[in-house]
Chain A
Amino acid sequence: MSAPLYKFGLFGDELSLVVAFVIGLGFGFFLERAGFGSARKLTGQFYLTDLAVFKVMFSAIVTAMLGVFYLGWVGWLDLSLIYVGPTWLPSQIVGGLLLGIGFVVGGYCPGTSVVAVATGALDAVVFLFGLTLGIFGFGEAYDALAGFVQAGAMGTVVLPDVLGVPYGQVVLGVVLLALAGFVGAEAVERWSARRSERS
């Protein structure tokens, strides 16, 4: 087997849109199941009452990371054909900060807001309107922002390069970090529950 299938020409652009819809269907299904159509559930992460965001995110990252690693190792998946977004640290650090602020102010991130709209949250409709406004504002200011957006271009850089550690060891490190994080998250939730019982 040679994968990614699309990159090996197993199907064309038109069919890739059907694939996109089906993959999106799975994406939305699991987000809603996890409770991520609810801003109150999502923002519980930032008040330490409900750390589902961390748990779901890192379970997903670890699962996909291990899958990619092992499929590449046995030679079924050509890792060089998987698109890894390049790195621009200044804009990605500032963008991440803004996104984090927007997350706790707005209650959603773009993907979860789509699920919230689909299940009837009116605040998510307003949030998505704000999102398109923000993108429009960014586009209109692009001339002025382009210098910063392009600053510090590093190309495609992955953690094994930066750390000087083999891919497999970084994968193991992330798994261990996630497992420690899960234990910590459970402890924080118990602490939060006791604190709210006392007050």
Chain B
Amino acid sequence: MASAESSRPSIPAGDPPSPRSYSNPYLMGVGLGLVLLTAFVVMGRGLGASGAFSSLVAWGLDSAASGHARANPFYVGYLESGVGHPLKSWLVFEVLGLAAGGLLSGALAGRIRRRVERGPRFSTPGRLAMALLGGVLMGVGSKLARGCTSGQALSGGALLGLGSWSFMIMVFVGAYATAWFVRRQWT
């Protein structure tokens, strides 16, 4: 990974890629849908992301304070879910693949570079604080909803689950209701 200051031979003129350099969203959506369909056909289950981090938290706590973790049904659910080990779980391996797939695509497109994503009017420390806060909200929200955009909205949405569709609508409601207040971060 090249530092922000050094030359980046893979990216012409040193400019960040414009949104137009990404692939057609409808085609990428169809590709993503075929990956999801493959998961349904091969495994009988959909995609996910937040669950892998729940396994990580449960495993970490079990390693540090096993009695505490084992007394909590939330953690126990994840500790019992792997193939003989909490981290040998389907979602943990799927998320490892997710990272590898992102890296592969980013490398092929010359989009790998150290950066902090923020709008032109927002400071880097401020952005990192917002990223932390957003992550915490997302952690609590995804556990309340029993899934995130991948597991609930995408997978449950394709299977027409009532909870998934209610969740998906509320994600857009929550984001649009908040967007104005954090506009300096992005615009």
B14 within 8 A of A: no
Which residues on B sit within 8 Å (CB–CB) of A92?
144-146, 152, 163-164, 166-167, 170
Q: How far is the CA of A67 from the CA of B38 in the complex (A)?
A: 9
| Total contacting residues, chain A, CB less than 8 A | 131
Q: How far is the CB of A55 from chain B (nearest CB, A)?
A: 4
**Do the beta carbons of B138 and A27 come within 8 Å of each other?**
no
In A104-130, which residues have CB < 8 Å from any B CB? Answer: 104-124, 126-130
Chain B residue with Cβ nearest A32: B105
- A32-B173 in contact given A67-B33, A110-B150 (Cβ < 8 Å): no
- A106-B133 in contact given A13-B83, A26-B101, A159-B162 (Cβ < 8 Å): yes
Q: How far is the CB of B22 from chain A (nearest CB, A)?
A: 4
Q: How far is the CA of A123 from the CA of B33 in the complex (A)?
A: 28
Spell out B's residues near A (CB within 8 Å): 1, 19, 22-23, 25-47, 49-50, 53-54, 56-58, 61, 72-75, 83, 88, 90-106, 109, 111-119, 127-128, 130-179, 182-183, 185-187
Spell out A's residues near B (CB within 8 Å): 3-7, 13-14, 16-35, 37-41, 43-47, 49-50, 52, 55-65, 67-68, 71, 77, 81-89, 91-124, 126-139, 142-143, 145-146, 148-149, 154, 156-162, 167, 170-171, 174, 182
